[in-house]
Structure 1
Amino acid sequence: MSESFYTDKRAVKRAFERAASSYDAAAVLQREVADRMAERLDYIKLVPARILDAGSGTGYASPMLRARYPEAQLIELDLAPAMLALSRDKGTGRGVRKWLNLFERHRAVHVCGDIEHLPLASESVDLVWSNLALQWCNTPDAALAECQRVLRPGGLMMFSTLGPDTLKELRAAFEGVDGHSHVNRFIDMHDIGDALVHSGFSTPVMDMELITMTYPDARSVMRDLKAIGAHNVTEGRPAGMMGKSAWRKVVAQYERFRHAGELPCTYEVVYGHAWKPDSRPGARLPDGSQVIEFRRRPGA
């Protein structure tokens, strides 16, 4: 998977910086997907010493990961400092409660960084967890390769991202309005699976589901996307405000999808996990599969 989607990373960072204060109230999908990802950990045999939450946002996954792996050190990494600041400050209060929270959080580390260029040492974490963050990468291959690099042999990457049917109604609504890009593009599940193998991961498991949210009107869809920092950040997006006539056309085209009084907004959620192989002869991955080393016989 070599295609780059030319996301303006500076615009991504600005969008999430601005959305930090409104993010938690609007991030319904992100919380739901994180909960579904956490359920998948029930079937994974892994006791990580260090976890990287890559694209941690405001830290929703932190309590779940720390409850499941209480002895592990958690590293929360995000591109937007404001998101990390909110995560760091969550739960703090006055008096005894404040000190208890500080004691409970002493193993958490907050790092501002880019998934495509992780500021971590090679083979330094046992679990990479990434919920709905890979879709913001310019070259997802680079992000997967970086996650593979920082994982220890036998470590696991578990992630979710968005597939190409995401926001299909909104994309159709903008069709023919002008020559600009108005909706972010997303990568096919099979391409991500191929990229995992190409990056050196073993036994990747991929699946997908469609989650549809409903809204009273098109403006509410756009408002929610902005509130979570997920509005259009592709190169080629329009520089200024859309004119009234163009917006009326968008609204009219979106109305074709209205059902039972609501406008749908579809998300194709892609889930995946894969292991970093342990190259020692006879080593087994936590899922029970064995690493077998083949040697050529002398003179063969």
Structure 2
Amino acid sequence: MTQPLRWLQDEIADRMLQKLDIVKLDVKDILVVPDFAGKHLDVLAKSYPKARIFSITEKGISGFQMWRAKALSNWRSLFASNACSLEDYSSSGRFNVPDNSVDLVFSDLLLHDLPDPKHFLQECWRVLREGGLITFSYLGPDTGKELRALDLSELKLKNLLSPWDMHDMGDALLGERFSDPVMDMEYLTLDYEKPALLLADMSALKLMDSTPPKAIGKEVLPQKITLEVVYGHAWALGKRLAKAKDNVAYIDLNQIGRKTRSDSA
């Protein structure tokens, strides 16, 4: 996301947190990716008052901005190391977070910007504790469908990096060993009075070239844009079990306990 769409990121985070109200989860540590100085920090602090919040910060967010936001919402988070930025994750392919160290991964409108969402899911599996939860939202392939219906080569339209629908993501969660995935989707409509505002938002959503054309008539562009917002969550269960491959389950010998005389007596 970029600053022009901060309101959208806040709105979707709020809807995600409402969905978490019905989920029972003992949370000591939360990883927010991407994190930004938004109102979600206050809600997370109220919902999980004893939790620390670790951040994978969004591009353009300074360490001081996050420190100040956390100081105002949850002082415990000040003692959590600022994990890394999205740029760090993009270059290294890893969160700067230890294995089995968080109970909740909260990801708001990120997955559609990643070339390989499966790798992101693998990292979430790595850092989640047994019984932990991943919850996320992202933009689905129907986002901006009104623009794609136009025959305007000068718009230089682009597809989302990861055009996965909710069924694709559900399959990917199961493939990465997550349990009981729950997926749902809704359409949001953005209405515009000025073409310049529509073009600015589409550029911010990375649906077109970052430099939109200067002169496109109002009568040519649609006055509304559809966003397909996909939500999902899944559990990290059975982390001590080996991953199956080719229908054969491989189990580490260290996971097999030896029965002693006293056990068999």
Please indicate the TM-score interval, normalised by the length of the shorter structure: 0.7 to 0.9
One-letter amino acid matched to 1:62: L
Q: In the TM superposition, what are the counterparts of 1:1-20 in structure 2 within 5 Å?
A: 19=2
Equivalences, count: 236
Contact 2:103 2:128 in 1 (8 A): yes
Q: In the TM superposition, what are the counterparts of 1:228-239 in structure 2 within 5 Å?
A: 229-232=204-207, 237=209
Partner residue of 2:166 out of 168, 179, 189: 189
Q: CA deviation at 1:51?
A: 0.3
Relative to structure 1, the CA distance from residue 271 to residue 213 in structure 2 (aligned partners, 3 Å threshold; closer, same or farther) is same
Q: In the TM superposition, what are the counterparts of 1:258-297 in structure 2 within 5 Å?
A: 263-278=223-238
Would you say 1:71 and 2:43 are equivalent positions? no
State the partner residue of 1:136.
113
Deviations 1:263-282 (A, max 9, x none): 2121111010000113579x
Contact 2:83 2:95 in 1 (8 A): no
Contact 1:52 1:75 in 2 (8 A): yes
Q: Unaligned stretches of 5+ in structure 2? A: 242-255, 257-265
- Secondary structure in structure 2 of the residue aligned to 1:110: coil
Partner residue of 1:148 out of 117, 125, 149: 125
Q: In the TM superposition, what are the counterparts of 1:20-59 in structure 2 within 5 Å?
A: 22-23=3-4, 26-59=5-38
Contact 2:42 2:74 in 1 (8 A): no
Q: In the TM superposition, what are the counterparts of 1:211-230 in structure 2 within 5 Å?
A: 211-225=188-202, 229-230=204-205
**Aligned-pair identity (%):** 34
Partner residue of 1:159 out of 127, 131, 136: 136
Deviations 1:57-81 (A, max 9, x none): 3343111111111111101212415
State the partner residue of 2:102.
125
Would you say 1:177 and 2:153 are equivalent positions? yes
Task: Please give the TM-score of this superposition, normalised by the length of structure 2.
Answer: 0.77
One-letter amino acid matched to 1:218: P
Q: CA deviation at 1:176?
A: 4.2
State the partner residue of 2:244.
none
Relative to structure 1, the CA distance from residue 177 to residue 140 in structure 2 (aligned partners, 3 Å threshold; closer, same or farther) is same
Task: Please give the TM-score of this superposition, normalised by the length of structure 1.
Answer: 0.68
Matches of 1:38 and 1:189, distance apart in 2: 19
One-letter amino acid matched to 1:78: T
- Secondary structure in structure 1 of the residue aligned to 2:221: helix
Deviation larger for 112-121 or 73-82: 112-121
CA RMSD of aligned residues (A): 3.0
Partner residue of 2:185 out of 208, 225, 242: 208
Q: CA deviation at 1:179?
A: 9.3
Q: CA deviation at 1:181?
A: 3.7
- Secondary structure in structure 2 of the residue aligned to 1:193: helix
Contact 1:211 1:269 in 2 (8 A): yes
State the partner residue of 1:254.
221
State the partner residue of 1:3.
none
Deviation larger for 54-63 or 208-217: 54-63
One-letter amino acid matched to 1:169: E
Relative to structure 1, the CA distance from residue 83 to residue 198 in structure 2 (aligned partners, 3 Å threshold; closer, same or farther) is farther
- Secondary structure in structure 2 of the residue aligned to 1:82: coil
Contact 1:205 1:274 in 2 (8 A): yes
State the partner residue of 2:78.
106
Would you say 1:242 and 2:213 are equivalent positions? yes
One-letter amino acid matched to 1:265: I
Contact 2:54 2:77 in 1 (8 A): no
Matches of 1:279 and 1:86, distance apart in 2: 35
State the partner residue of 2:175.
198
- Secondary structure in structure 1 of the residue aligned to 2:123: helix
One-letter amino acid matched to 2:84: C
